[in-house]
Amino acid sequence: GAVVSQHPSWVICKSGTSVKIECRSLDFQATTMFWYRQFPKQSLMLMATSNEGSKATYEQGVEKDKFLINHASLTLSTLTVTSAHPEDSSFYICSANPGVVTSSYNEQFFGPGTRLTVL
Amino acid sequence: AQSVAQPEDQVNVAEGNPLTVKCTYSVSGNPYLFWYVQYPNRGLQFLLKYITGDNLVKGSYGFEAEFNKSQTSFHLKKPSALVSDSALYFCAVRDRYDTGRRALTFGSGTRLQVQP
């Protein structure tokens, strides 16, 4: 159980285009999802916290208009990189937290990541 | 603010020898602590967690970690390393009382290289 999927697993796009990345919790409901960004050989940096039915909370320095997050249902959050540029190339990882208080309440379950390359 | 330090960028160990990957943390309250492993171009896989109870936590693939409150440490250990353990390891922390944010703060990662 507790599987999180991401789609696509990799994407290459031209500069100026927008890219949407989906994060799905397959077998549990996730009231909260998190989006992280990882540069090569570096740690994960939290970009934003996505709460179902409400606006995302962005970390300092993350552009809200650049990285659009939508959490329309308890099993799906999307990250859209708008007008992508080469500096947006990175590995984007989502995680999901079960909303129900269970033994897994304090855990985050991570997706496999999406590698974005902007030419 | 919470933070995690992984002082070693890389740890090298011979197969069959014990391994330790170090982690120290800082939180304002009491911590929830986690270890994750990442293989190339993959997401994070959960290894183990400390929430409460016994300070020695056993996890997946023979890994264990000991929560030491006085030293604010949560070092990852394994009695006998395997070549397949070679990967990038992340320690993460969350403040127990941060019920609103619930995001994890990650360390910088330690690359474990197990030589045959």
**Could you list the mean pLDDT of each consecutive 10-residue stretch along chain A, which spans 119 residues?**
89 96 91 89 88 88 94 92 95 84 70 94
Residue position matching structure tokens 């160990």: B13
Question: In the prediction, which pLDDT does A41 show?
Answer: 75
pLDDT at B43: 81
- Reply yes or no on whether the pLDDT at B101 is more than 70: no
pLDDT tens readout for residues B28-72? 888 999 999 998 877 888 899 998 889 999 998 999 999 999 999
- The proportion of chain B whose per-residue pLDDT surpasses 70, expressed as a percent, equals 97
What is the C-alpha to C-alpha distance for residues B65 and B42, in angstroms, rounded to an integer? Answer: 23
Q: In the A/B pair of chains, how many CB contacts fall below 8 A? A: 51
Q: What is the pLDDT of residue A104?
A: 59
Distance CA A57, CA A88 (A): 20
Amino acid making up residue A52: E
Q: Measure CB to CB from residue B104 to each of A57, A91, A108 and give the nearest one.
A: A108
pLDDT for A117: 96
pLDDT of residue B99: 64
**Could you give the 3-state DSSP secondary structure of residue A111?**
coil
Chain B residue numbers touching A107 (CB-CB < 8 A): 34, 46, 49
Q: Residue B59: what residue type?
A: G
B95, B31 contact by CB (below 8 A) = yes
> Which residues on B lie below 8 Å from A91 (Cβ)?
41
- B88: confidence class by pLDDT, cuts 50, 70, 90: very high
Name chain A contacts of B107, Cβ cutoff 8 Å. 43
Closest-CA residue to B25 (of B5, B49, B47): B5
pLDDT tens profile A11-29: 999 999 999 999 999 988 8
Q: How high is the pLDDT of residue A15?
A: 96
